[in-house]
Chains A and B, each alone.
Chain A
Amino acid sequence: MDQVRVIEVKQSVFADNDRRAAQLRRELKERGIFLLNLMSSPGAGKTTTLKRTAELLKDEIKIGVMEADIDSDVDARAMAEAGVRSIQLHTGGMCHLDADMTRQGLDELLTEGGVELAILENVGNLVCPAEFDTGAVKNAAILSVPEGDDKPLKYPLMFQVCDVVLINKIDVAPYFDFDLERCTEYIRMRNPDAKVIPICAKTGEGVEEWANWLRGQVRGWRSFS
Chain B
Amino acid sequence: MHELGIVFHIIRSVEQVAAENNLEKVSAVVLELGEVSGVVPDYLTDCWRWAAAKEELVSGSELKIETLPAVTHCDGCGRDYPTVAHGRTCPHCRSEKTWLLTGNEVSIKEIEAY
Contacts and interface: CB of A to CB of B under 8 A. Distances in A.
Given A4-B27, A189-B96, A95 B5 contact: yes
Chain B interface mostly helix, strand, loop or mixed?
Answer: mixed
Interface in A1-38: 1-17
Contacts of B75: none
B106 A5 contact: no
B110 interface: yes
B9 A7 contact: no
B2 A128 contact: yes
Contact of A10 (B5, B108, B112): B108
Given A127-B2, A131-B2, A189-B96, A14 B106 contact: yes
Contacts of B114: 1-5
Interface in B44-64: none
A134 to B, nearest CB: 12
B1 A13 contact: no
B9 A16 contact: yes
Contacts, number: 81
B23 interface: yes
Nearest to A132: B5
Contact of B38 (A5, A6, A131): A131
A54 to B, nearest CB: 29
B113 A7 contact: yes
A7 B2 contact: no
A167 B110 CA distance: 43
B2 A10 contact: no
B109 interface: yes
Given A2-B114, A5-B23, A95-B5, A13 B109 contact: no
Contacts of B106: 12-14
A11 B108 contact: yes
B57 to A, nearest CB: 13
Interface residues of A, number: 31
Given A16-B9, A17-B9, A131-B38, A8 B4 contact: no
Given A4-B114, A6-B111, A11 B13 contact: yes
B6 interface: yes
B110 A7 contact: yes
A8 B109 contact: yes
A96 interface: yes
Contacts of A7: 17, 21, 23, 110-113
A98 B9 contact: yes
Q: Could you say which of B10, B21, B108 has the most chain A C-beta atoms within 10 Å of its C-beta?
A: B108
Interface of B: 1-2, 4-6, 9-10, 12-13, 16-17, 21, 23, 27, 31, 38, 88, 96, 105-114
Given A4-B27, A11-B107, A96-B5, 17 more contacts: A3-B114, A4-B114, A5-B23, A6-B112, A7-B23, A7-B112, A8-B110, A10-B109, A10-B110, A11-B108, A12-B106, A13-B31, A14-B106, A95-B1, A128-B2, A153-B88, A156-B88
